[in-house]
Amino acid sequence: MIETILSGDRPRSRVLAGLLLALLAALALAPLVFPGTRPLDVAAKVCVFVLLAASYDLLLGYTGIVSFAHTMFFGIGGYGVAIALSRMEPGWGAIALGTAAAVAVALALSFVIGLFSLRVKAIFFAMITLAVASFFAILASQLSGFTGGEDGLTFKVPEILRARRVAYYFVFSVSLVLFLALLRIVNSPFGRVLLSIRENEFRSEALGYRTVIYRTLANCLGAVVAALAGVLYALWLRYTGPNTTLDFAIMIDILLMVVIGGMGTMYGAAIGAAIFVVAQTYLQEAMQSLSGALKGMPLLPELFHPDRWLLWLGILFVLSVYYFPRGIVGQLRARTP
């Protein structure tokens, strides 16, 4: 049973299994155990970003391509549902329409970008996605009649989703299902081909797999799941704006999550996203007190200023690329024989 749900991809480490169970339990029981709106917000954000990071890992960890346009697809999902809900009656029909439109746009765009740039080198793809994504972000803030510009769009959600707990469980269950679907994909024969492309593109091509097609498919899949994550996040926040979806800082966040958690394992993305979101929320408070304690010393208070938390996560990121390229999950798995 569990074997089927996890698609045969067991955690393969007791500690990792424990962590994942704890994460799942915390997310499943969050509305019941932790009172207040803030923990619920954090929990919903963790759900969405686990999904987003997992879909990014499909590209980075499994296929070995670096995309900087993942937030663009995340944003397309968010804006799709936001535009539909703010212009139509707030009902499931509008959500379905917005989601369908967003998925279609994400699919078309990722297909074109993939066909254009995945033929050549990984670096080429990274550069082109960076350019396209930044263009898209500017476009979204310029077309203010359509997207609300810098202010973004605030909208009403269907009656049933207005109860926070119901909305939370909606986000949680959709994220969980999509996460398991991704797990299924990477453990399928298709996923094996992706891994082989990552390990040795030339050999995979020689074995008869059209690597361009596989990479483009992976790119499209990642884009669609990212768009769906965007839909979920928009429905949770009841708001979509450049700062919650398209900002390059979010792209960096996703990159950090996947690399610190562990590239090439869906569980790594989950662990990384959970740690990152919690750190983002609570590390700043810890740094606040540390910065206060260091007051009077040269430069140190500046380095521990709460706004500098990204500095420390960046250092962690660089160190983990050098010394633990398999991330937390890889480390845990290496310990268990």
Which CB sits closer to another protein, 36 or 145?
A: 145
Which region among 80-88, 132-140, 176-184, 217-225 touches another protein (by CB under 8 A)? 132-140
Using CA atoms, how far apart are residues 322 and 261, in angstroms rounded to an integer? 14
* Number of residues located near another protein, criterion CB under 8 A: 41
Based on the shown chain and the rule CB under 8 A, indicate whether residue 234 belongs to the binding site for another protein.
Answer: no
- Minimum CB separation of residue 138 from another protein in Å reads 5
Binding mask 54-93 for another protein (x = CB under 8 A): ------x---x-x---------------------------
Binding mask 7-46 for another protein (x = CB under 8 A): ----------------------------------------
CA-closest candidate to residue 81, choices 171, 147, 37, 137: 147
Both tokens assigned to 16: 């990792």
Residue in 28, 252, 278, 290 binding another protein, rule: CB under 8 A: 252
Based on the shown chain and the rule CB under 8 A, indicate whether residue 156 belongs to the binding site for another protein.
Answer: no
- Minimum CB separation of residue 142 from another protein in Å reads 7
Which region among 119-127, 176-184, 187-195, 275-283 touches another protein (by CB under 8 A)? 119-127
Based on the shown chain and the rule CB under 8 A, indicate whether residue 259 belongs to the binding site for another protein.
Answer: yes
Which CB sits closer to another protein, 259 or 332?
A: 259
- Minimum CB separation of residue 121 from another protein in Å reads 7
Based on the shown chain and the rule CB under 8 A, indicate whether residue 128 belongs to the binding site for another protein.
Answer: yes
Residues whose CB falls within 8 Å of the CB of residue 302, separated by 6 or more in sequence, listed in order: 308
- Minimum CB separation of residue 31 from another protein in Å reads 34
- How many residues appear in the chain? 337
Residue in 92, 124, 146, 282 binding another protein, rule: CB under 8 A: 124
Which region among 25-33, 43-51, 203-211, 304-312 touches another protein (by CB under 8 A)? 304-312
Based on the shown chain and the rule CB under 8 A, indicate whether residue 108 belongs to the binding site for another protein.
Answer: no
Residue in 107, 115, 278, 303 binding another protein, rule: CB under 8 A: 303
Which CB sits closer to another protein, 99 or 265?
A: 265
Q: How many CB atoms lie within 10 A of CB 97?
A: 18
Residues whose CB falls within 8 Å of the CB of residue 266, separated by 6 or more in sequence, listed in order: 9, 54, 57, 179, 182, 183, 186
CA-closest candidate to residue 235, choices 105, 81, 94, 39: 81
Based on the shown chain and the rule CB under 8 A, indicate whether residue 246 belongs to the binding site for another protein.
Answer: no
Using CA atoms, how far apart are residues 322 and 271, in angstroms rounded to an integer? 19
Residues whose CB falls within 8 Å of the CB of residue 55, separated by 6 or more in sequence, listed in order: 70, 182, 221, 222, 225, 226, 229
CA-closest candidate to residue 82, choices 245, 234, 246, 247: 234
Region class of 64: left (phi > 0), else alpha (psi between -120 and 50), else beta: left
Which region among 115-123, 156-164, 187-195, 272-280 touches another protein (by CB under 8 A)? 115-123
- Minimum CB separation of residue 127 from another protein in Å reads 4
Based on the shown chain and the rule CB under 8 A, indicate whether residue 314 belongs to the binding site for another protein.
Answer: yes
Most distant pair of Cα atoms in the chain: their distance: 65
**Half-sphere exposure of 168 toward its Cβ, with a 13 Å CA cutoff?**
20
Using CA atoms, how far apart are residues 286 and 119, in angstroms rounded to an integer? 46
